[in-house]
Amino acid sequence: MSLQVGQQAFEFTLYNTENLSSTSNVVLLFFPLAFTGTCTKELCSARDDISKYQKLNTTVVAISVDSLFTLGKFREEQKLPFDLLSDFNKEVSRKYDSLYEEFPLFGLKGVTKRSAFVIDKHGIIRYAEILADATKLPDFAKIKEALEQCGK
């Protein structure tokens, strides 16, 4: 089942989700692998714009299939001010249609697709972008535009 804008977002539980609240919007970023060039660029872009997201009453959360330990080190090294959640069992990535059965760059099985979702404070998906090409970045301008619309 493909996710659609306007659909209720799937609920999930992963470590560190206790910081999510129903009073804020959420930018949910799925990324393939910690410590890779494009993933680092993507998450550092979100880090560098964190004040903009905060002004838009938004919590940023990033998810990959990396282990908790790998994500902890990656977050620390990149000084990321938001949670990185491990979907090691691939359940959430699969629910959000954000899982490669075979990752094209390395031939690995079950790697998270680069995807971005804006979920409003009512749990409704307001923006969805699932990228087939892992070397591309989400359209952060459209993400911010969707967040601005959530406030209206």
Taking the domains of the chain in order of start, what are their residue ranges? 29-150
**Closest C-alpha to 21, from 73, 70, 61:** 61
Beta strands in 65-130 (DSSP E): 83-86, 99-102, 109-112, 115-119, 125-130
* Mean residue pLDDT across the chain: 88
**Closest C-alpha to 5, from 117, 86, 152:** 117
Query: Mean per-residue pLDDT for 110-114?
Result: 91
Query: CA–CA separation, 79 vs 77, rounded Å?
Result: 6
Read off the pLDDT band of 151 (50, 70, 90): confident
Query: Mean per-residue pLDDT for 21-43?
Result: 91
User: 136: Cβ–Cβ under 8 A, 6 or more apart, which residues?
Assistant: 38, 114
Catalytic residues: 39
Q: Please say if the pLDDT value at position 140 is more than 90.
A: yes
Share of the chain above pLDDT 70, in %: 89
Share of the chain above pLDDT 90, in %: 70
59 token code pair: 């919590």
Query: CA–CA separation, 30 vs 87, rounded Å?
Result: 10
Query: Mean per-residue pLDDT for 3-31?
Result: 73
Q: Please say if the pLDDT value at position 17 is more than 80.
A: no
Amino acid at 16: N
Q: Please say if the pLDDT value at position 11 is more than 80.
A: no
Query: CA–CA separation, 99 vs 31, rounded Å?
Result: 10
Query: Mean per-residue pLDDT for 20-25?
Result: 71
Higher local confidence (pLDDT), 29 or 100? 29
Query: CA–CA separation, 147 vs 141, rounded Å?
Result: 10
**Closest C-alpha to 23, from 126, 119, 149, 143:** 119
CATH of domain 29-150: 3.40.30.10
Q: Please say if the pLDDT value at position 12 is more than 90.
A: no
Q: pLDDT tens-digit profile of 39-80?
A: 999 999 999 999 999 999 999 999 999 999 999 999 999 999
